[in-house]
Structure formats: C-alpha cells, structure tokens
C-alpha cells in the first residue's frame, strides 16, 4: 500500500509523520515555544509548495523544526491563559486513530459504529443535563459552530412556533428578530447574530456578574421579537454561571428558546460541588460544551445538544437525490448541525472516557475547582493582591494593587518567555486585571501561588 504506481514510495513520509506523532503524544507540548510573525516565518520556511515537491524529509523537518515550534502550547499544566486545553494522552493518541480510520461521520450509513460510540458520550452528557430520550446532538468543530447551530435551530423553531400561534406584527409576519444575551456572553454570540442577521439585545448583569430572569423579563417586555436568550454556564472571562433557573422560567413564559453556552464551564455539570449553579438546565432548549477545553480531549471538539432533537432535524436535514437513497431510520449527525461531511471528532473523548470512566472525569474536574479555590484563598489573604470575584467554577480574577497596564504586560511576558506560567492580562469593567483558568488536573497550584508570591510583591 505504501508503494503506489501513482504516488511512488510513501514509506518514509508515513514513518516520519507517525514517529513524530508517537514521540509528541508521549512528551506533550513544549511550554517554551511561542508564535512568530509571518515575516520571520517566511525567512525560515521559504517556499514549501513547489511544482516538484520537497520530499518527506524536508517537509517533516520544516514542520518539526520550524512550524510546530512557532505555535504556543495550549495544554501545558502551567498554561492558565485563555481557556487552555488538557487532553489525556489516551485522547491525543486516539485522534491519530480517528485520522487513520478516516470515517465519514456525517451519515449513519457511512459512520454507524463510530457515530454510535459518539452517541454514547452524548448520552452521558444528556444524563448530566437531566434530558430524556428525545434529546440528541452531535459533535462540531468548536463552541462557535455549536452556538451557531443551536441558535439557527432556535430561530427556525421559534419562527415556526409563533406562526402557528398566529403571532403577528401589525397583521404581518414578524420581522426584526432579536437575540438576547448578557454583556458577558462570549464574543462568538455577536458574530452569530451577524450571520443570522438578527439584532442583539444586551442585558445588564447583576453585581455578581449573572444574567437573571428578572433582567431578561424587562428586555422581553421592551423587545417582543426576541426569539432566544443565551445564558452562559461559565463565562470565559470570569467563570460565572448565569441564573439558569430564573432565565428558563421567564423565557418559556414568553415562548422563546433558551440556549446554554457551556463551552468552557459545561464540563462542571459533572462536578458535584458546583452542580447547584446549574439548577434549571434540565428545562433549557439547547446546550454546548467544548471537550477540547475542560473534558480532556484534543482540538477540535464541541458537543451540541438539543432537548428535543426533532427541532434540529427540521432545521438542518439536507435533501438530495443521492442522500435520500439511504432511507434508514437512524438520525444522521448531518441532520443536527451545520455540516455534512464530518470527522468523527467525538471519538478521542469516547476512548478516554471509556478507558477511565466517568468517576475519574468527575474527580479531574473537581481537582481544578479545588485548585482555583485554593489560589483564590491565597489571593484574598495576601496584602499585595486583590481578589475581584469569588470563583464559581475554576477561573480566578485578581489584580496587583497599584500596577499599571504596562507592569502587568511586563510581568506576564517574562513568565511566558521562561515557560514558567502563561497568565495574560484581561479587563474587568474597564480595569486591567489578571485571570487564571484552571482546567488541568496536573497544574501544581502551590507552584502558581509561589510565583504570585515571589514575582508580584
């Protein structure tokens, strides 16, 4: 197979790539690597796409010596900026299996066994949500695509529902649909509003940073064409969980859709110590969680689920003569989001979860919550630092008393360059702050505290 009449002998190309993959799966990524400018890369790489090809040795050399080192490690235990990743070695390894198997995961007909396994993972998430048999979902590339799919289904479903209810605007079909979310919602929600051609209604949050049903109701009275509200279960900047229970109650009184963006924090549904923050989620209409964030899977992976999957099927089913030939009873992943051909990207999570079991996952998530509490406790008691919010999940936001934005940058860059700690400045209510997002069970919180104690005084 490695020697083809057409491509020639690919033995070396295969061996070099797979050897690198094995070595890297074992070692994990190097925290000292960082991005470079395209100018620098142009100098080091030159032209890599040529009419006669570079050959395997040179192409792999470019990747391992130049290109990969010009990326930033997202899964180092001391990478606490953005929302990092922390894939298990088993999940990373299985991603190579998914590639090798090269299954078309869009249709049951093509991907049955693989999709079945993905659905068992979704079944676990469904049980955490308290959803029943009617619920279903699929895996898409990331939270942005997951949110877009859920909100597209929301718009289609609510439009149809209002039409059936005979809800009109001055005797005409309703136009000017609006999407409600808090000022703290993820930036992708605004992009999605642009794509769906709907206006955003931004709702103020309470003093603790939560969107509440009370504030939603005010917005609904003023904006009768709001078709959906996005509540965030774990905001990216501060890890706050909106008041889902009151939001769902108000939203359903007004016949609108509730989407829960749990891209980062949805994983904490599995953690008993914070489970109470998610009260009411069993009544939400759709939900996403990114396993590439806090469920220990590699990039890229987002689970999007609907409490009643038929709404998604009505929205997304693609009909074409060559597709309809497969007349079977199974639900196709392509019927549940905006995609047709797809990689079975839920499988690395399936493999890792099947190996370790859900209890281990619970413990791994709790570990990061404990770490964030310990770190917050240190900051609260220290004289030079200020804790800005009690962490609800695992993001700690704080300030160094008296520092200017330049001092934050300098401090952050120095630690990043040394590969000691990745902690980047952010903003809270216009003020420069620091945030630490704990999601890796291997993060040594005492080491983090030691750094804060010795480098910030």
Contact positions vs ligand PLP (CB under 6 A): 83, 142-144, 186, 188, 232, 236, 261, 263-264, 290, 302
- Burial-class residue 418 by CB neighbours within 10 Å (0-12, 13-18, 19+): exposed
Residue 186 C-beta: closest distance to ligand PLP, Å: 3
Residue 317 C-beta: closest distance to ligand PLP, Å: 24
Q: Which is nearer to ligand PLP, 264 or 277 (CB)?
A: 264
Q: Which is nearer to ligand PLP, 232 or 382 (CB)?
A: 232
Residue 170 C-beta: closest distance to ligand PLP, Å: 36
Judge contact between 87 and 292, C-beta under 8 A: yes
Backbone angles phi, psi at 100, to 5 degrees: -65, -40
Residue 263 C-beta: closest distance to ligand PLP, Å: 3
Judge contact between 371 and 445, C-beta under 8 A: yes
Residue 231 C-beta: closest distance to ligand PLP, Å: 10
Residue 187 C-beta: closest distance to ligand PLP, Å: 8
Residue 107 C-beta: closest distance to ligand PLP, Å: 24
399-406 long-range contacts (CB < 8 A, ≥24 apart) are: 399/431, 399/432, 399/433, 399/434, 400/434, 400/456, 403/432, 404/432, 405/432
Q: Which is nearer to ligand PLP, 143 or 209 (CB)?
A: 143
Q: Which is nearer to ligand PLP, 119 or 236 (CB)?
A: 236
Q: Which is nearer to ligand PLP, 83 or 445 (CB)?
A: 83
196-202 long-range contacts (CB < 8 A, ≥24 apart) are: 196/148, 196/151, 196/152, 196/155, 198/155, 198/227, 201/226
For 170, other C-beta atoms within 10 Å of its C-beta total: 5
Name residues whose C-beta falls within 8 Å of residue 341's C-beta, 6 or more positions apart in sequence.
Answer: 104, 106
Residue with tokens 């003023």: 222
Nearest residue to ligand PLP by CB is: 143
Tell me 82's DSSP state: S
Q: Which is nearer to ligand PLP, 213 or 266 (CB)?
A: 266
Q: Which is nearer to ligand PLP, 280 or 291 (CB)?
A: 291
């Amino acid at each position: 197979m490695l020697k083809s009449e057409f491509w020639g002998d690919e033995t070396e190309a295969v061996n070099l790539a797979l050897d690198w993959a094995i070595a890297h799966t074992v070692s994990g990524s190097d925290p000292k690597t960082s991005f470079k400018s395209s100018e620098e890369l142009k100098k080091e790489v030159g032209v890599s796409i040529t009419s006669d090809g570079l050959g395997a040795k040179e192409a792999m050399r470019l990747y391992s010596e130049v290109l990969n080192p010009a990326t930033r490690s997202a899964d180092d235990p001391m990478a606490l900026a953005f929302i990092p990743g922390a894939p298990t070695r088993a999940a990373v390894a299985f991603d190579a299996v998914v590639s090798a198997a090269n299954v078309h995961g869009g249709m049951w007909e093509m991907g049955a066994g693989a999709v079945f396994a993905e659905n068992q993972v979704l079944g676990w998430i469904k049980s955490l949500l308290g959803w029943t048999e009617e619920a279903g979902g699929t895996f898409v590339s990331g939270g942005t695509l997951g949110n877009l799919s859920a909100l597209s289904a929301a718009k289609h479903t609510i439009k149809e529902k209002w039409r059936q209810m005979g809800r009109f605007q001055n005797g005409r079909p309703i136009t000017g649909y609006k999407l409600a979310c808090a000022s703290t919602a993820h930036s992708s929600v605004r992009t999605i509003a642009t794509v769906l051609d709907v206006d955003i209604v931004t709702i103020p949050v309470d003093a603790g940073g939560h969107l509440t049903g009370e504030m939603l109701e005010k917005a609904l009275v003023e904006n009768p064409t709001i078709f959906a509200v996005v509540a965030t279960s774990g905001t990216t900047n501060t890890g706050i969980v909106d008041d889902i229970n009151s939001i769902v109650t108000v939203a359903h009184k007004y016949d609108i859709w509730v989407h829960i963006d749990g891209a980062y924090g949805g994983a904490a549904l599995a953690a008993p110590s914070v489970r109470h923050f998610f009260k009411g989620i069993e009544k939400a209409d759709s939900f996403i969680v990114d396993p590439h964030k806090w469920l220990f899977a590699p990039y890229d992976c987002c689970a999007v689920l609907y409490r009643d999957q038929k709404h998604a099927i009505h929205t997304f089913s693609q009909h074409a003569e060559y597709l309809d030939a497969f007349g079977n009873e199974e639900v196709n992943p392509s019927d549940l989001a905006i995609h047709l051909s797809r990689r079975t990207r839920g499988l690395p999570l399936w493999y890792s979860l099947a190996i370790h079991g859900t209890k281990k996952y619970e413990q791994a998530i709790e570990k990061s919550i404990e770490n964030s509490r310990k770190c917050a406790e240190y900051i609260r008691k220290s004289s030079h630092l200020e804790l800005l919010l009690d962490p609800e999940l695992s993001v700690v936001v704080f300030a160094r008393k008296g520092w200017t934005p330049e001092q934050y940058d300098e401090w952050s860059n120095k630690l990043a360059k040394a590969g000691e700690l990745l902690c980047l400045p952010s903003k809270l209510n216009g003020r420069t702050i620091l945030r630490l997002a704990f999601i890796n069970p291997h993060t040594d919180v005492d080491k983090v505290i030691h750094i804060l104690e010795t480098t910030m005084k």
